[in-house]
Amino acid sequence: MTATSHLGKPTSRVDGRAKVTGTAKYAAEYNVPGLAHGVVVSATVAKGRIKRIHTADAFAVDGVLDVFTHRHRPRFASSDESYQDEIAPPGSPFRPLYDDQILFSGQPVALVVAEEFEIARFAASLVRVDYERQAHITDFQARRGSAAVSKQHEVPPPRGNPTAAFAQAAVRVEAEYRMPVEHHNPMEPFAATAVWEDDGGITVFDKTQGPQNCRNYVAGVFGMPRDKVRVLSPYVGGAFGSGLRPQYELPLAVLAARALKRAVRVTLSRQQMFTLGYRAANVQALALGADSGGRLASFRHDFVGMTSQFEDFQRNVVNWSSMLYRCANSALGQSLVKLDHNTPCDMRAPGGAEGAYAIECAMDELAYAAKLDPLALRLINYSDRDQIADRPYSSNALRECYRQGAEKFGWSRRNPQPRSMRDGNELIGWGMATGIWEAMQMKASARAVLTANGSVEIASATADIGPGTYTMMTQIAAEMLGVPLENVTARLGDSSLPDAPVEGGSFTTSSVGSAIHAACRAVQEELLGLARKMAGSPLAGAALDDVVFAEGRIWRRDDESRAVSVADAMREGKAERIEKTATAEPKEDGKYAHCTHSAVFVEVKIDEQLGVIRVTRVVSAVAAGRILNPTTAGSQILGAVVGGIGMALHEETAADHRFGRFMTHNLADYHVPVNADVHAIDVIFVEERDDEINPLGVKGVGEIGIVGTAAAVANAVYHATGKRVRDLPITLDKLMRE
């Protein structure tokens, strides 16, 4: 007899059938009795004041129920604290329909609610708004000189004397790297279906990465007890960070449902999706100095980003070099420019994707200046500890990522000279970069229920935005309680379930997974107690670590013949069900730094005459602790790599600063990689054991696949052409420019 093993094996998504057959419902697909529809009217100016809103023509349309504005709406909270969600940055959160002030172009200024969506949309087109325009500031590059240090993020103090070390360095590189505004563009637009309950409560089906975050937000804004608000998001059609904070469709739907005492759905258009948060434009200046052997002597990195006038948003961008490369002299800085745009928000690997792009391109430039192979330079400066916190890593298999990735890619066959490799009329470029991301864990809870017939239910309020959270929850529960996968039902995306953080930051498996582990272990303990009490029990005196739960039985590790069936133990103990809720928290001993690592190798082919770039091969070697499911984890890396290709070659939200408005606000003008842009992508999971990080030994993989990918593409483009483009995205006009 062998123990059941559901972990570490490729496993198809347990929610896959629901998604491909259409039985999985999303926020805008819940049809409830008496459903009305709301359409948002968006501001056409970037800054100013509403003088008057003309709603008579909209009210005259048959089927219109109401038109809500800042002058015509129910009362709600006025304090900043009431609008703060759990990941809100410092400042004063945006409040839809609060007053007459216009803070950004596209801001909601009215909500038209009608019996049918088409009626609401038509009536919304009839709403006219008179504005008192004010001069706006939306040009990031023009305002760089006004950047100020953020209240949110403190960079570490300098190490050593980087200025003097740079001046004395044998090899020096100074460069500036730029990234534009990028928008998330998940397939599912933001929507909320708010259902008025007879007891005065509200149930909301919302597109969100944090049901409890949204529940708390709604309760705060509308002054409701939390137990009168329930937010559900069992299925989310992509988010990439855009759903971490409550978006304005949520309070608008709740506002209308409470006022009309009926269900109301508010769905944003694709154009309105571009009025939400975004990856902020930024400029990064780096100065690297090294000795003649390539050893870093000085590392200076300054970041300037953008935020709104009303909140200070940014993430850790400049710290990553001190976590990757050994250097005694370092100076890091971050500052922000305030603009008349909405507040930026987290976008896949926030801070890491941006920082790694500049750091890894600068390292590539240093390699050429020092006449070293780019991989060799990274190995020379490899660091086995986080120099900021001065802590070793709990695990770090980055060297093995380099080795396995380079071997799979064939890096040893690379001709180091730019423009030296060809395939007919195409130039070939090979580039590489390093990736790093924090392996975080948050406090989370989960409930496990085992019934006498062998069925298991596992529940937590976490979301599943696509990484396979349903499947992860199912696998852990099935493994620990010794039942088939099909016997497990996973429940999530419901604010009434045990507490969980928002799904983001690659911490869901480590956080919620650890809580599931704790809940299932509590079930095991009670179940083993029942088995030990059976007359003549072969498990008498056995401790929990002495036994195995598998195939509906409990047996001793040292003697498989000494076993008790789960059904017999529960029957003898007169237990129809065993239910346990547990909470898991991260270790706070401060002994180790916890990170995932990767090595990304990229091949590009570039038409020499036309400048058209194709990413023809990518190898991403990832060390992320224990991989619970290579199928879903591999899919995460594949998707993230595609996102990195988008960063490097396609994605840019262009603005017309005369109007202070994003102009490429649709999927025709905002380019993302499509099938023709994606070729061979090989994912390698490097074996890495980590006994310190959490009971499962897992890290997250949602972010690590995009970190470093854009830099690897950019470095490959330079190797192919000899032209260093430091302004993303790398487009053919920039390559062809003399």
**pLDDT tens-digit map of 556-581:** 999 989 999 999 999 999 999 999 99
Q: Domain for residue 170, yes or no?
A: no
Q: What is the pLDDT of residue 528?
A: 97
Tell whether the model's pLDDT for residue 3 goes beyond 60.
no
- Mean pLDDT, range 83-97, rounded to an integer: 97
- Is residue 291 helix, strand or coil? coil
Q: Ramachandran region of residue 425, left (φ > 0), alpha (ψ -120 to 50) or beta?
A: alpha
Tell whether the model's pLDDT for residue 1 goes beyond 80.
no
- Residue 53: φ, ψ to 5°: -115, 120
- Is residue 365 helix, strand or coil? helix
User: CATH number for the domain including 641?
Assistant: 3.30.365.10
- Mean pLDDT, range 665-684, rounded to an integer: 97
Q: Domain for residue 165, yes or no?
A: no
Q: What is the pLDDT of residue 4?
A: 58
Q: What is the pLDDT of residue 661?
A: 97
- Mean pLDDT, range 293-317, rounded to an integer: 97
How far apart (Å, rounded) are the C-alpha atoms in residues 14 and 34?
33
Tens of pLDDT along 604-627? Answer: 999 999 999 999 999 999 999 999
Bridge-based pairing state of the strands 680-685 and 613-623: parallel
pTM: 0.97
Same-domain status, 345 and 453: no
How far apart (Å, rounded) are the C-alpha atoms in residues 72 and 223?
19
Tell whether the model's pLDDT for residue 473 goes beyond 70.
yes
In sequence order, the 6+-apart residues with CB closer than 8 A to the CB of 320 are 352, 355, 356, 359, 436
Tell whether the model's pLDDT for residue 181 goes beyond 70.
yes
Asked which of 545, 568, 584 is the last residue of a domain, the reply is 584
Catalytic residue among 176, 365, 703, 738: 703
Confidence of residue 713 (pLDDT cuts 50, 70, 90): very high
Q: Domain for residue 166, yes or no?
A: no
State the DSSP code for 382.
B
Q: Are 120 and 114 in contact (CB under 8 A)?
A: yes
- Burial of residue 290 (number of CB atoms within 10 Å: 0-12, 13-18, 19+): buried
How far apart (Å, rounded) are the C-alpha atoms in residues 204 and 27?
9
How far apart (Å, rounded) are the C-alpha atoms in residues 320 and 566?
49
- Mean pLDDT, range 718-728, rounded to an integer: 98
In sequence order, the 6+-apart residues with CB closer than 8 A to the CB of 558 are 546
Sheet bearing 421-423, strands edge to edge: 421-423, 426-438, 595-607, 613-623, 680-685
Helical H runs in 311-434?
Answer: 320-324, 352-369, 374-380, 398-409
How far apart (Å, rounded) are the C-alpha atoms in residues 63 and 37?
10
- Count of alpha carbons within 13 angstroms of residue 397, beta-carbon side: 19
Same-domain status, 369 and 436: yes
Tens of pLDDT along 14-38? Answer: 999 999 999 999 999 999 999 999 9
- Mean pLDDT, range 527-544, rounded to an integer: 95
Q: What is the pLDDT of residue 5?
A: 86
Mark whether 703 is an active-site residue: yes
Asked which of 533, 557, 584 is the last residue of a domain, the reply is 584
Same-domain status, 550 and 483: yes
Buried b (16+ CB within 10 A) or exposed e, 225-257: eeebbbbbbbbbbebbbbbbbbbbbbbbbbbbb
Asked which of 234, 253, 273 is the last residue of a domain, the reply is 273
Tell whether the model's pLDDT for residue 649 goes beyond 60.
yes
Number of Cβ within a 10 Å radius of residue 543: 10
- Mean pLDDT, range 149-166, rounded to an integer: 88
- Residue linked to tokens 């950019």: 714
Q: Which domain holds residue 700?
A: 282-440+590-736
Cα dihedral 77→83→84→90 (10° resolution): -100
Q: What is the pLDDT of residue 2?
A: 46
Q: Is the dihedral of CA 641, 644, 645, 651 positive or negative?
A: positive
How far apart (Å, rounded) are the C-alpha atoms in residues 690 and 428?
39
Q: Domain for residue 13, yes or no?
A: no
Same-domain status, 520 and 446: yes
Same-domain status, 364 and 230: no
Q: Domain for residue 624, yes or no?
A: yes
Tokens of 18: 């629901």
- Mean pLDDT, range 130-134, rounded to an integer: 98
DSSP lists the bridge partners of residue 625 as 698
Same-domain status, 607 and 670: yes
State the DSSP code for 214.
H
Confidence of residue 537 (pLDDT cuts 50, 70, 90): very high
Q: How far is CA 252 from CA 196, 353, 724, in A?
A: 13, 33, 47
Mean predicted lDDT score pLDDT of the chain: 96
Number of Cβ within a 10 Å radius of residue 200: 11
Tokens of 430: 């090979």
- Mean pLDDT, range 281-287, rounded to an integer: 98
Confidence of residue 151 (pLDDT cuts 50, 70, 90): low
Same-domain status, 608 and 703: yes
Quick one: which of 31, 357, 361 has its CA closest to 191?
31
Tens of pLDDT along 108-123? Answer: 999 999 999 999 999 9
Q: Is the dihedral of CA 344, 348, 350, 353 positive or negative?
A: negative
- Burial of residue 589 (number of CB atoms within 10 Å: 0-12, 13-18, 19+): exposed
- Count of alpha carbons within 13 angstroms of residue 333, beta-carbon side: 15
Q: Is the dihedral of CA 557, 559, 565, 569 positive or negative?
A: negative
Residue type for 94, please? F
The DSSP annotation for 560-608 comes to EEEEEEHHHHHHHTT-SEEEEEEEE--------B-EEEEEEEEEEEEET
How far apart (Å, rounded) are the C-alpha atoms in residues 138 and 338?
9
Same-domain status, 462 and 558: yes
Extended strands (E) in 45-166: 48-54, 64-68, 101-102, 108-114, 128-133
- Is residue 499 helix, strand or coil? coil
- Is residue 404 helix, strand or coil? helix
Same-domain status, 509 and 626: no
Quick one: which of 317, 412, 418, 326 has its CA closest to 364?
418
Same-domain status, 653 and 731: yes
- Residue 450: φ, ψ to 5°: -115, 125
Tens of pLDDT along 236-275? Answer: 999 999 999 999 999 999 999 999 999 999 999 999 999 9
Same-domain status, 269 and 302: no
Same-domain status, 543 and 619: no
How far apart (Å, rounded) are the C-alpha atoms in residues 303 and 318?
7
Q: What is the pLDDT of residue 498?
A: 98
Number of H helices, E strands in the chain: 18, 30
Task: Count up the domains in the chain and report the number.
Answer: 3
